[in-house]
Structure 1
C-alpha cells in the first residue's frame, strides 16, 4: 500500500496504474499513468557524421648560411723590422711599405715597360723600381740595390689579389697581374705591371 497525502491508490485495469484523488479536498493533482512497456517510445540511435578537419602544419627551419670572413692578414705575416714586405701574385714584383730614418714609402721592384729616360743625376740602376713617398707623386727609382725585400731566407709572402695591405699611412692592393700603392693622405701613388705602369 502506497500512502498519498491526499488520497488512496486505486488500481486500474490492464496493469495501468492511475493515481487519482479519491478524497474530498478541493485541489486535485494531475493524473500520473504508467504506460505499458510496449507503448514507451524508445530513442532510435542515429548515425551522425562528424567532419574530420585535417590541419597541416608547416614548419620553417631557418637555414644558416656561413659566410667566410674576408681574408684578414696579420701584421706578423708581412712585418719585418717595423716595415711590411710582400710579393705580387704573379711573382714579378717584390714590394714593401717601409719605414726609413727620414721618411716612409711604398714601392715595388721588378721588370716593367715602358721606362722613362734615365735622369742625368742617376748614376746607378734606373727603372727597376717605382715608389711613392710621404710627399709628391709616384715616380721611378734610381737605386743601387734592392729595397723592397725583407732579406729573409724565404721569399716574402704573396699579397692575395683583392686583399689590401694598409700600413704606415699607405695602402697597397694587387690583382693577378699588377700592384697599386697609394699614400692615404696625399692620394698620390702608382700602378705597375710587367707590360704597363702609371704614376699619379
Structure 2
C-alpha cells in the first residue's frame, strides 16, 4: 500500500504508471455526470462503440472513471492528470505508482502494473481497467 501523502496534490491524489503512458487521479471532488471520483487517462484501445469517434480523433481524449458507477469518457482536458505544476505549463503529472502497488483514498483503490491500472469503488466493487491495448469497466 502506497503512502497517500506521496501522491497528494491540491485537489486530489495523482499518479502515473511506471511506463508513464497512463495518468490517474483520485479527486477530492467528483467530476462529470454521473459524478466520478477516480479515473485514468491515456491512449487505449479498442474503443467501445460509443467512444470510437472521440478516441479515434484524439487518442489523448480516452479516459475511464468510477464513482457510483464506472464508465468511459471523452475528455478535452486533464481531469485525471493533476494540476499545473508550473503556471502556463499545462497539466501536471503525478509521481509513478510502482507496479504492484496500490493507492487508496476517498473510498477508492487503484492498483498499478507496469502498463495498466485497475481502480475500484471500495464500497460496491464497481471499477475499470485501462492499458494501452485494452480497457474495461465492471
TM over 0.5: yes
1:152 to 85, 88, 104: 85
Asked if residue 181 in structure 1 is aligned to residue 119 in structure 2, the reply is: yes
More strand by share: 2
Secondary structure of the 2:49 match is: coil
Offset at residue 75 of structure 1 (A) = 2.8
Q: What is the 5 A alignment of 1:6-155?
A: 73-100=2-29, 103=35, 105-118=37-50, 128-133=62-67, 135-136=68-69, 138-150=70-82, 151-153=84-86, 155=93
Structure exhibiting the larger radius of gyration computed from Cα positions: 1
What RMSD over aligned residues (CA atoms) do the two structures have, in Å?
2.4
TM-score (norm 2): 0.78
Offset at residue 86 of structure 1 (A) = 0.2
The structure showing larger relative contact order (alpha-carbon pairs under 8 Å, at least 6 residues apart) is 2
Q: Check 1:101–1:91 CA distance in 2 against 1; reply closer, same or farther (3 A cut).
A: closer
Paired position in structure 1 for 2:100? 162
Q: Check 1:144–1:191 CA distance in 2 against 1; reply closer, same or farther (3 A cut).
A: same
| Runs of 5+ consecutive residues of structure 1 not aligned to the other structure | 1-71
Offset at residue 73 of structure 1 (A) = 3.3
Paired position in structure 2 for 1:48? none
| Runs of 5+ consecutive residues of structure 2 not aligned to the other structure | 87-91
